[in-house]
Amino acid sequence: MTLRPRRSALFLPASNARAIEKARGLPCDVVILDLEDAVAPAQKVAARDAAVAAVRAGGFGARELVVRVNGSDTEWGAGDLAALGRSGVAAVLLPKVGDADTLHRARARLGDGPALWAMIESCDGVLALREIAAAAPATGLAALVIGPNDLARELRCRPGADRAPLWPILGQVVLAARAAGLVALDGVINTLDDLDAIAAECRQGRDWGFDGKTLIHPAQIAPANDAFGPTAAEIAAACVLADAFIGREDDGAIRIDGRMVERLHLEAARRTLALAEAIAARN
């Protein structure tokens, strides 16, 4: 089993050359160059050119490089996709995906190039999750990403520290991603200085089943990496379980330390070990 860690996915403005250079040395798993929310209208075209130049220049090492484009309903969306199709970027993140047609149109403009990631940040997107996920094989969709700020605005809800108003949507996004074999990334937290609050929300996202979290500041990387990576105790337990099944691969269930474990637990253990190995290799 080969896994790619996506514990921490850091957004940064594609218009900020200094931030891009700094990102080449940060310990995040994913770098997302943003052409949308973080870039003023007057800078959109220059930011697009900068993003393409950064992708072609490389230097990001094992970090997965993604570009978030402007929406298809803006004057910059089509140009963003046309510029990125042959750039060599790993994935293009589409904002405010509300239906599967958005994915098909983006794929047609990109050609056979980068994978698609879809931001679920509107009521339409949540209601269309099934069709969006089902379009993955035909469109190259690889990940679903929560957009909590836009969701809260549309819903007119007021998420507190526990994000309770968004719980139904968090669960639906993870469910849709798992059913389609996609990556699921939790949304950003706007807190910058309270590391305990950041760590708590990262752990919450992990407990919901997300693979990682999108971030807006380098200070958030360490809490995300800690939360979404297996602990030493989890790795040790996975080793014990995997070793116990050696020579007993045909057994449906076995006894370990006074409890019964089944093959589904073995698969989970193997995934934990594969993720730990991938993180160690990346580091």
List the one residue out of 199, 194, 203, 190 whose CA is nearest residue 159. 190
> Is residue 237 a contact partner of residue 283, using CB atoms and an 8 Å limit?
no
Backbone angles phi, psi at 195, to 5 degrees: -65, -30
**Residue 181 CB neighbour total at 10 angstroms:** 10
Distance CA 167, CA 181 (A): 21
Pairing mode, if any, of strands 259-262 and 253-256? Answer: antiparallel
Characterize the bridge pairing of strands 183-186 and 259-262: unpaired
Secondary structure letter of residue 69 according to DSSP: P
Whether the CA torsion 18, 228, 144, 196 is positive or negative: it is: negative
Question: Which three-class secondary structure state does DSSP give residue 199?
Answer: helix
Does the annotation flag 68 for ligand binding? yes
Q: How many CB atoms lie within 10 A of CB 171?
A: 12
What count of residues does the chain have?
Answer: 283
Local structure of 117: helix, strand or coil? strand
Angle at 189 between CA 126 and CA 152, to 5 degrees: 40
Is 121 annotated to bind ligand? yes
Query: Between vectors from CA 115 to CA 264 and to CA 31, what angle results, nearest 5°?
Result: 90
Tell me if 150 is assigned to a ligand binding site. yes
Query: Which residues are annotated as part of the binding site for Mg(2+)?
Result: 121, 150
Query: Which residues are annotated as part of the binding site?
Result: 68, 121, 150
Query: Which residues are annotated as part of the binding site for substrate?
Result: 68, 121
